[in-house]
Amino acid sequence: MAFLRLVVRIMGRISTFRSYQFVVLLAAALAVVAFYYFGSEKQNFSSTTKRIKQTQVSHNTNRNDADLTVDTRLSHPAGSEEQGGEESDLEMDSQDFKSRKRDRQVDDQHFHALMMFTKVDKSRSLQDKFRVAMLSMVKHGRFHEGEVLVLHFVSDQASQELGEGMLKEFLQDATFKYEVLFHDVVALTQKLFPIVEAMQKHFSAGSGAYYSDSIFFLSVAMHHIMPQSLTRIVQLDLDLKYRTNIRDLFQEFQGFSPGAVIGIAREMQPVYRHTFWQYRKENPKTRVGEPAPEGLPGFNSGVMLLDLGAMRASALYNQLLEPSNVAKLADQYRFRGHLGDQDFFTMIGMEHPELFYSLACGWNRQLCTWWRDHGYGDVFQLYYRCEGPIYIYHGNCNSPIPDD
């Protein structure tokens, strides 16, 4: 009050002409004081999210960068009593995330993993699978001091709200540092569609290329979507169960040969024996669609290591993304698929295996047996066998996952 009385006395003693300027300056000063005084109070989650959404609406119109739209960032220091609860550090500014990523050069301290998390709010089955995946990841996860596991989720708003609550529960016993980032599926689809539209008609379910199908090709063009400072990421399905430290999966990047851009396991069913049926008929001695190790059974995209830096640098890989080359290969192999990125990687892998690092089957032990009962029982085991330790179970096609 004393401060306000002093202001009134000063205002009463200045000239009319100068008082107008003084009032403007005083108003600005008071606004700054009010901002710091009232703005220092912690905002609740819903109000902050609303603010970011409003900010993004105005900023996205003129954005020409390739960064993801970041909705929220939840961080957790190892050993913290907050354990990802309401007192956790919630940083909502996507521009702040970009600047920090730009300032912090890529190092070996941050391990990035991405999962698709759309329509989870409408599916109890997906929620149950997510629970199994995250609890097993936390159970076995071990990272060194200073290392951070960064979990990216591509999500719609309703699923994000559900996922945030679930993650607080699933991550509360984590012994490692983590960050959680949710990315808007609509914003990503807008960025992806111009890049992958041409290939959708070859590798999407149904007839024609649907705008919404673009998100199933995220891994194909992620090197164009993620910020340049991010050079490595693993993409994981939700229907996984981890039997080992996920940190060990990232060490597989060390096995990439020069020119390799993606680490991926072979498909463990004769699905591509079936899909390439016409090409195989026209080329009876081909290895295409034959079981490993001599054959080329195709890939399964449940677990993928994406070397984004190598993808950006590979002239060959980026040439293969061009519509004319996609159409040429699809015609050459008489190929029409429905599994999105998996089909694209399988097709270009037939022609350019040097682009891929072969993950051991134990890193993506697929459990689906659908094709065994649909015409391929005589050869099924040739594809399905997996020797060696099992690190990750993949319950594809809703297959039950062992309890061990």
Q: Could you report the per-residue pLDDT of 261-294, keeping only the tens digit for each?
A: 999 999 999 999 999 999 999 999 999 999 999 9
Among 173, 164, 202, 213, residue whose Cα is nearest residue 78 = 173
Higher-pLDDT residue of 4 and 318 is 318
Query: 396 pLDDT exceeds 90?
Result: yes
pLDDT score of 82:
42
Among 156, 150, 133, residue whose Cα is nearest residue 73 = 150
CA–CA distances in Å: residue 256 to residues 58, 219, 292, 307: 41, 17, 20, 9
CB 72 within 8 A of CB 49: yes
How many Å separate Cα 137 from the centre of its chain?
16
**Could you write out the DSSP letters of every residue in 318-330?**
HHHTSHHHHHHHH
How many Å separate Cα 132 from the centre of its chain?
18
Any idea which of 99-103, 213-217, 224-228 has the lowest mean pLDDT? 99-103
Among 152, 123, 151, residue whose Cα is nearest residue 138 = 151
Beta bridge partners of 76: 178
Query: 5 pLDDT exceeds 90?
Result: no
The model's confidence at residue 201, banded by pLDDT at 50, 70 and 90, is confident
How many Å separate Cα 30 from the centre of its chain?
44
pLDDT score of 254:
97
Range 101-108 average pLDDT: 47
Among 384, 298, 382, residue whose Cα is nearest residue 339 = 298
Any idea which of 60-64, 128-132, 221-225, 311-315 has the lowest mean pLDDT? 60-64
The model's confidence at residue 355, banded by pLDDT at 50, 70 and 90, is very high
pLDDT score of 200:
86
The model's confidence at residue 395, banded by pLDDT at 50, 70 and 90, is very high
Higher-pLDDT residue of 89 and 153 is 153
Any idea which of 51-65, 131-145, 236-250, 335-349 has the lowest mean pLDDT? 51-65
Query: 357 pLDDT exceeds 90?
Result: yes
The model's confidence at residue 14, banded by pLDDT at 50, 70 and 90, is very low
CB 295 within 8 A of CB 229: no
How wide is the angle at C-alpha 293 spanned by C-alphas 289 and 299, nearest 5°?
A: 50
219, two tokens: 């891994």
Q: Residue ranges of the domains in the chain? A: 46-398
Higher-pLDDT residue of 277 and 51 is 277
The residues, ordered by sequence, that sit 6+ positions from 68 with a Cβ below 8 Å of its Cβ are 94, 152, 181, 183, 187, 188, 225, 226, 227
* Axis-axis angle for helices 341-351, 323-332 (nearest 10): 70
Mean pLDDT of the chain: 81
Residues of the chain with pLDDT > 70, as a percent, come to 72
Among 247, 345, 353, 357, residue whose Cα is nearest residue 300 = 345
- Amino acid letter at 66? A
* Axis-axis angle for helices 185-203, 341-351 (nearest 10): 50
CB 338 within 8 A of CB 326: no
- Amino acid letter at 282? E
CB 150 within 8 A of CB 182: no
Range 302-311 average pLDDT: 98
Task: Give me the residue label for tokens 């005084």.
Answer: 37
In whole angstroms, give the CA distance from residue 339 to residue 272: 11
CB 367 within 8 A of CB 396: yes
Beta bridge partners of 394: 240, 366
pLDDT score of 9:
53
314, two tokens: 């590979």
Range 370-391 average pLDDT: 97
Measured distance between the N- and C-terminal CA atoms of the chain, rounded to whole angstroms: 69
Query: 253 pLDDT exceeds 60?
Result: yes
Among 157, 204, 187, 151, residue whose Cα is nearest residue 68 = 187
The model's confidence at residue 38, banded by pLDDT at 50, 70 and 90, is very low
Range 16-27 average pLDDT: 46
pLDDT score of 336:
87
Higher-pLDDT residue of 393 and 68 is 393
Residues of the chain with pLDDT > 90, as a percent, come to 67
Among 350, 259, 247, 231, residue whose Cα is nearest residue 297 = 350
The model's confidence at residue 338, banded by pLDDT at 50, 70 and 90, is confident
pLDDT score of 296:
97
pLDDT score of 198:
84
CB 226 within 8 A of CB 152: no
CB 76 within 8 A of CB 178: yes
> What does CATH list as the number for 46-398?
3.90.550.10
Burial 15-44 (b: 16+ CB within 10 A, else e): eeeeeeeeeeeeeeeeeeeeeeeeeeeeee
In whole angstroms, give the CA distance from residue 286 to residue 301: 23
Any idea which of 71-85, 134-148, 187-201 has the lowest mean pLDDT? 71-85
